[in-house]
Amino acid sequence: MAYDSNEHYQRLAETYDGNWADRPQYVAWMADRIMDWLKPSPGDRIADIGSGTGLFLSRLMEIASADAPILCVDPSQPMLDLLPDDPRLTGICATAEQIATGEVAMPVPTVDAFVFKEAIHHVKDIPGTLAGLADRLGVQVLLRWWLLAGATGVTLIMAIGSGLFALRSLRNVEPATLLR
């Protein structure tokens, strides 16, 4: 029998946050890592791919607003149904691939950052999906150049800890910082 991740997360949804109840320090640590790497500013548009219940979004919610909510993208509606009832969060039931291809539209044409937290392993075509998501970042020309630059692309697609990946717009980044 083939593995069905949707079925898995439907079963997991009700207990997901409770699975982390004895590890609040890890949840806080990961929320801090996301914030430290993205260095978002109020008004930045951020999409969290595989956001699930929003458990790891506490720090990002500090800079989010009803006018610039975090887009919580997850293919599991039962997980999204458990997002906090907060105008700073907007649930979108979709896969990363559906967002990348435009099959499922975001409420804004572009975002400043995409975050993957332990979700990239569900993506079947990682290079194609990342390229599609890059098309939905605010400053596409610079990002494409860096993505096509080979090894320097790891500056923009970075692993933090285990399984966290982020794509960041270059709108507020000094080019010299990308060469470090």
DSSP string, 108-161: SS-BSEEEEES-GGG-SSHHHHHHHHHTTBS-HHHHHHHHHTGGGGGGTSEEET
**Nearest Cα to Cα of residue 99 among 55, 135, 148, 63:** 135
What band does 143 get if pLDDT is binned at 50, 70 and 90? Answer: very low
Tell me, what's the pLDDT at 85? 96
15 assigned to some structural domain:
no
Instruction: Locate 98 and state its tokens.
Output: 């559906």
Tell me, what's the pLDDT at 95? 94
Instruction: Locate 99 and state its tokens.
Output: 């967002």
Tell me, what's the pLDDT at 61? 94
Tell me, what's the pLDDT at 131? 81
Residue 12: pLDDT over 90: no
Alpha-carbon distance 22 to 130, whole Å? 34
Domain that includes residue 42, residue range: 5-10+21-169
Residue 125 phi/psi, 5-degree rounding, is -115, 85
Tell me, what's the pLDDT at 4? 62
What percentage of the chain has pLDDT greater than the value 90? 31
pTM of the model: 0.75
55 assigned to some structural domain:
yes
174 assigned to some structural domain:
no
Look at the chain and report how many structural domains it folds into: 1
Residue 178: pLDDT over 50: no
Tell me, what's the pLDDT at 92? 98
- The CATH number of the domain holding residue 143 is 3.40.50.150
Q: Which of 4-8, 124-128, 145-149 has the highest mean pLDDT?
A: 124-128
Alpha-carbon distance 131 to 133, whole Å? 5
Beta carbons of 122 and 50 less than 8 angstroms apart: yes
Q: How many CA atoms lie within 13 A of 96 on its CB side?
A: 29
Top-confidence residue, 87 or 112: 87
131 assigned to some structural domain:
yes
Tell me, what's the pLDDT at 69? 97
Over residues 56-70, mean pLDDT: 93
180 assigned to some structural domain:
no
Alpha-carbon distance 82 to 54, whole Å? 8
Q: Which residue has the tokens 């890592």?
A: 33
Q: How would you classify residue 66: left for phi > 0, otherwise alpha for psi between -120 and 50, otherwise beta?
A: alpha
45 assigned to some structural domain:
yes
64 assigned to some structural domain:
yes
Q: Are strands 70-74 and 113-117 parallel, antiparallel or unpaired?
A: unpaired
47 assigned to some structural domain:
yes
Top-confidence residue, 14 or 133: 133
